[in-house]
Amino acid sequence: MNLFVDAFNWILDPANYAGPGGIPVRLVEHLVFTVVAVLLASLIAIPVGFLIGHTGRGRSLAVATSGGLRSIPTLGLLTLVALWVGIGLGAPYVALTVLAIPPILAGAYAGFEAIDRSTIDSARSVGMSESQIVRTVEIPLGLPLLIAGIRSATLQVVATATLAAYVADFGLGRFLFAGLKTRDYAEMLGGSLLVILLALALEGIFTVVQRLVVPKGVAFGRPPVDRARSARPGPGMDPAITKGNH
Amino acid sequence: MFTANRGRLAAVAAVAVGAVVALAGCASGDPLDSGNTTDEGSATLVVGSQDYYSNEIIAEIYAQALEENGFTVDRQFKIGQREVYLPEIESGSIDVFPEYTGSLLQALNADAAGGTAEETFAQLQDELPDGLSVLDMAKATDQNSWTVTQAFADKYSLTDIASLADVTEPITVGGPSELETRPYGPTTLTEKYGIPIAGFTPIEDGGGPLTIKALVDNAIQITNIYTASPNIKSDKLVALDDPDALFFADNVVPVVSDKVDEKAADVLNAVSAALTAEDLVSLNSESVNDELSAEKIAAAWLKQANLF
């Protein structure tokens, strides 16, 4: 018996597409849940990240806080919140939003910090106001890193959103729990594959978005090679070898 | 630029192919086989338990009783639900497992007739696969039950399961995923008693605090709670009567492999003879309300029962 064959058969079985518990409904639920959780996290993390990135203040606090948030076990937090607000989607939203905040926050302030200081100083010297600098210089230039952060958050949330089914009749996690508890491993694996497919689809979308958000006239990605040449030799690095690179 | 992209494409393709190969490798084996099955020849008895605190306490009692009598015990606790561990017992990698007569019978034969405690026990003995047997059952029972809040029961004068048909508000069933497809599940409620079920809400903590809260908050109206749960008393719940034996009698019984010899069987039978239904509720209460560990609860009970 090959589990993967069974899982693919399960995914392709038309009987699994009908009704409120069918694959299309679960996929849409899962997607909506992921999008909402990432949006909620963005609403919190992006303004804070921009503030930190622009002022340069509170960075170490943000690093420590988001590091702490990252270490919270999502299922534990979900259970704790559910004991407070009850079953339903409230607790999963809180838990998954907390999961999504750190990468978005890091992307937001790292995007600002990565901008060459002389660019911002030039903007200031031509008379731009602080808000103009943020809106027309820092946000566009920092956008690629912010999107990278949102992309990373989305990937984590879409994979972990299966936990919504722990306390609600919602999302692809239903297939995982039901399959596990009834020894229907084809259903369980099929559900997992659907999560993976959804994650890959979202990755594809973000790859395109990341290309689109690069402002005109800015090279995206790794800087040209000649910058690597000008790197100072690190401690312990043999100067002879560094010279040999020239 | 073009060549770089093609190189990247090749790398992505290589990773994808590698992942498929690696995953296909996983697929051929038993997904739950941890690979560390015990030696056939060793005299160590493997005691298992469900991922259910009450079952773990009973397993711990078995384990400590066996240890008191000179056996070496390997504890493999919290193995999950019956769907997960049953194949493990059948394959002989676990020697002693606390079980419940009716639930185990239904798991082995979904069409079993069930009935009283004795009838259920007799049928269970017939259904057990070769190499497995059950020892004496205890008086203690921990049955499945359809449970509602006292307030809900008062509102509609509910006494037994059939009376749920008189409820005029939508009934949402809550509980772990497997409840939805069990023989006593929501489908049977509708087909057998004409009880309208508005929906099923999964709560995957196995009748734990989230389930109790959902019931008390009226987010769900009925759920499956074990009758030995201390929550029935502390949260003012009512386990509805089951005159048609929808749920089978569920006496605590040790399921054992061939490796359990007469001496070990005597030890376990002595435990079963002493374990009453009241004992089980109070053991559970010590875990839930006093938050004592299974080790402490088991040791205290064995001492108080004055067995060994």
Cβ(B150)–Cβ(B230) below 8 Å: no
CB within 8 Å: B205 and A79 = yes
Q: Residue B85: is its pLDDT beyond 90?
A: no
The three-state secondary structure class of B160 is strand
Query: In the structure, what pLDDT confidence band is assigned to residue B295 with cuts at 50, 70 and 90?
Result: very high
Mutation target to probe the B interface, by most B beta carbons within 10 A, among A169, A187, A189, A207 is A169
Q: How far is CA B139 from CA A187, B2, B57, B136, B200, in A?
A: 39, 77, 16, 10, 33
pLDDT tens by residue, B129-173: 888 889 999 999 998 899 999 999 999 999 999 999 999 999 999
* Separation between Cα atoms, residue A65 and residue A71, nearest integer Å: 10
Could you tell me whether strands B237-239 and B146-149 are parallel, antiparallel, or unpaired per DSSP bridges? Answer: antiparallel
Q: Residue B40: is its pLDDT beyond 60?
A: no
pLDDT tens by residue, B113-133: 887 889 999 999 999 888 888
This model's pTM is above 0.90: no
Partner B contacted by A168 (CB < 8 A) = yes
Lowest mean pLDDT among A62-66, A81-85, A238-242: A238-242
Mutation target to probe the A interface, by most A beta carbons within 10 A, among B20, B200, B204, B217 is B204
CB proximity under 8 Å: B 160-199 to A:
174, 176-178, 180-181, 199
Percent of chain A with pLDDT over 70: 87
Partner B contacted by A174 (CB < 8 A) = yes
User: Nearest Cβ partner of A177 from B177, B181, B214?
Assistant: B177
pLDDT tens by residue, A140-167: 999 999 999 999 999 999 999 999 999 9
Q: Could you tell me which residues come within 8 angstroms of residue A7 by beta carbon, excluding any fewer than 6 positions away?
A: A185, A186, A189, A190, A192, A193
CB within 8 Å: A181 and B23 = no
Q: Could you tell me which residues come within 8 angstroms of residue A17 by beta carbon, excluding any fewer than 6 positions away?
A: A23, A24
- As a whole number, the mean pLDDT across chain B is 85
Q: How many CB atoms within 10 Å of residue B302?
A: 18
Query: φ and ψ at B252, to 5 degrees?
Result: -70, 130
Q: How is residue B122 written in tokens?
A: 């007799």
Q: Could you tell me which residues come within 8 angstroms of residue B85 by beta carbon, excluding any fewer than 6 positions away?
A: B48, B50, B79, B94, B97
For residue A96, how far is the Cα from the chain centroid?
A: 11
* Separation between Cα atoms, residue A163 and residue B271, nearest integer Å: 39
Q: Residue A243: is its pLDDT beyond 60?
A: no
| Residues of B in Cβ contact (< 8 Å) with A177 | 176-177, 202, 204
CB within 8 Å: A169 and B180 = no
pLDDT tens by residue, A47-75: 999 999 999 888 888 889 888 888 899 99
Segments in chain B forming alpha helices (H): 2-27, 53-68, 82-90, 101-108, 117-127, 150-155, 186-193, 209-216, 231-234, 262-274, 277-288, 294-305
pLDDT tens by residue, B10-36: 555 555 555 554 444 444 444 454 444
* Separation between Cα atoms, residue A108 and residue A227, nearest integer Å: 25
Give the CA count within 13 Å in the CB-facing half-sphere of A194.
Answer: 32
Mean pLDDT over A184-191 rounds to 93
Q: Residue B38: is its pLDDT beyond 80?
A: no
Partner B contacted by A183 (CB < 8 A) = yes
Partner A contacted by B203 (CB < 8 A) = yes
* Separation between Cα atoms, residue A41 and residue A28, nearest integer Å: 20
What is the per-residue pLDDT for A79?
92
* Separation between Cα atoms, residue A133 and residue A138, nearest integer Å: 6
Lowest mean pLDDT among A30-34, A235-239, B196-200, B234-238: A235-239
What is the per-residue pLDDT for A240?
44
CATH number of the A2-12+34-217 domain: 1.10.3720.10
Mean pLDDT over B287-308 rounds to 90
- Amino acid (1-letter code) at residue B82: R
ipTM higher than 0.90? no
Mean pLDDT over B108-117 rounds to 84
What is the per-residue pLDDT for B16?
56
d(CA B94, nearest CA chain A) in Å? 19
CB within 8 Å: B203 and A183 = no
Higher model confidence: residue B15 or residue A117?
A: A117
CB within 8 Å: A181 and B176 = yes
Q: Residue B74: is its pLDDT beyond 90?
A: yes
Partner A contacted by B205 (CB < 8 A) = yes
Long-range CB contacts for residues A180-188, cutoff 8 Å, separation at least 24: A180/B83, A180/B84, A180/B177, A181/B81, A181/B83, A181/B176, A181/B177, A181/B178, A182/B83, A182/B177, A182/B178, A182/B181, A183/B83, A183/B84, A185/A3, A185/A6, A185/A7, A185/B31, A186/A3, A186/A6, A186/A7, A186/A9, A186/A10, A187/A10
What is the per-residue pLDDT for A236?
47
Percent of chain B with pLDDT over 90: 56
Cβ(B37)–Cβ(B9) below 8 Å: no
What is the per-residue pLDDT for B112?
86
What is the per-residue pLDDT for B244?
85
Mean pLDDT over B173-200 rounds to 91
Lowest mean pLDDT among A107-111, B91-95, B143-147: B91-95
- As a whole number, the mean pLDDT across chain A is 87
Q: Which residues of A199-213 are buried (b: 16+ CB within 10 A; e: fewer)?
A: beebeeebeeebeee
